[in-house]
């Protein structure tokens, strides 16, 4: 199964920022896997993101681990060297997109405007990150954008939680929702792995309900 399909099947993508990858990356990978959410977008906003990616992939080889908040080609290289399986960028940078396409690694650039979508179309991308989702017009904007651009699926991130996950994931344009609500700094810093497992399970339940009902 390709990476787009695997992400879509899981339905939620935890956005992870680790201050202590040596301590937290392995237990976090196990908790996400146990919770039924074996995927992570590890943000380069924290130093040591590549180390976190490497540890998560080694700990849970079946897990899908990507790099987030990627801003430079050097970070793309670092992420790939660490074993990242996809790249996420906050905005649309044509050079970075071209670089990832050349390297054959899936890239989900942040797109929220018709201009962004036009640019993404030129690269033949199929899945876009819609970021920051709530702040950019949320579900109403995602639906409006899908009228002229029905070829894209989107991964909204920013302001999504258990409260609005069902509303978002019920929209057929949306293949998965990103968020940090199940992997907050408090949960990670305090090693609340059981709570993380629980939040993942609840998310999976919501995705199932939305898709079956
Ligand atoms: C991201 O980096 O993609 C977002 O900041 C995550 O947004 P959230 O914290 O509102 O889920």
Segment 15-69, tens digit of pLDDT: 999 999 999 999 999 999 999 999 999 999 999 999 999 999 999 999 999 999 9
pLDDT band of residue 1 (cuts 50, 70, 90) is confident
- Which residues touch 203 (CB under 8 Å, ≥6 apart)? 11, 12, 35, 37, 162, 165, 182
The pLDDT mean for the chain works out to 97
Query: What are phi and psi for residue 192, nearest 5 degrees?
Result: -85, 65
How far does residue 158's CA lie from ligand 1's centre (Å)? Answer: 4
Probe target for ligand 1 pocket from 12, 180, 199, with the most ligand atoms within 8 Å of CB: 180
Ligand 1 site, CB within 6 A: 15, 43, 68, 131, 157-160, 178-181
Angle in degrees, CA 40, 42, 48, rounded to 5: 145
Point out which residues pair with 93 in neighbouring strands.
none
DSSP three-state, residue 205: helix
Q: Are 81 and 87 in contact, with CB atoms under 8 Å apart? A: no
How far does residue 149's CA lie from ligand 1's centre (Å)? Answer: 24
How far does residue 178's CA lie from ligand 1's centre (Å)? Answer: 7
- Give the model confidence (pLDDT) of 162-211 as tens digits: 999 999 999 999 999 999 999 999 999 999 999 999 999 999 999 999 99
- Give the model confidence (pLDDT) of 150-165 as tens digits: 999 999 999 999 999 9
Per the annotation, the verdict on 129 as an active-site residue is yes
H/E element, 129: strand 127-130
Probe target for ligand 1 pocket from 18, 109, 131, 136, with the most ligand atoms within 8 Å of CB: 131
Checking if the pLDDT of 213 tops 90, the result is no
- CA dihedral angle for residue 110, residue 113, residue 119, residue 124, rounded to 10 degrees: 70
Q: Are 91 and 120 in contact, with CB atoms under 8 Å apart? A: no
- High-pLDDT (> 70) share of the chain, %: 100
pLDDT band of residue 124 (cuts 50, 70, 90) is very high
pLDDT (0 to 100) of residue 152: 98
């Amino acid at each position: 199964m390709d990476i787009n399909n695997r992400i879509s099947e899981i339905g939620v993508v935890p956005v992870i920022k680790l201050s202590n990858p040596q301590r937290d990356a392995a237990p976090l990978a196990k908790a996400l896997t146990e919770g039924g959410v074996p995927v992570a977008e590890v943000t380069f906003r924290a130093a040591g993101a590549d180390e976190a990616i490497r540890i998560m992939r080694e700990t849970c080889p079946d897990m899908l681990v990507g790099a987030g908040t990627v801003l430079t080609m050097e970070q793309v290289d670092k992420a790939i060297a660490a074993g990242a399986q996809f790249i996420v960028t906050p905005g649309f940078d044509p050079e970075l997109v071209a670089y990832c396409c050349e390297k054959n690694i899936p890239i989900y650039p942040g797109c929220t405007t018709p201009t962004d979508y036009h640019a993404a179309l030129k690269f033949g991308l199929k899945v876009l990150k819609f970021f920051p989702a709530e702040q950019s017009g949320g579900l109403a904007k995602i639906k409006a954008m899908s009228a002229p651009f029905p070829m894209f699926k989107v991964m909204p991130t920013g302001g999504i939680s258990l409260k609005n996950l069902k509303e978002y994931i019920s929209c057929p344009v949306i293949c998965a929702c990103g968020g940090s609500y199940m992997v907050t700094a408090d949960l990670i810093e305090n090693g609340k792995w059981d709570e993380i497992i629980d939040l993942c399970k609840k998310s999976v339940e919501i995705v199932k309900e939305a898709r079956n009902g």
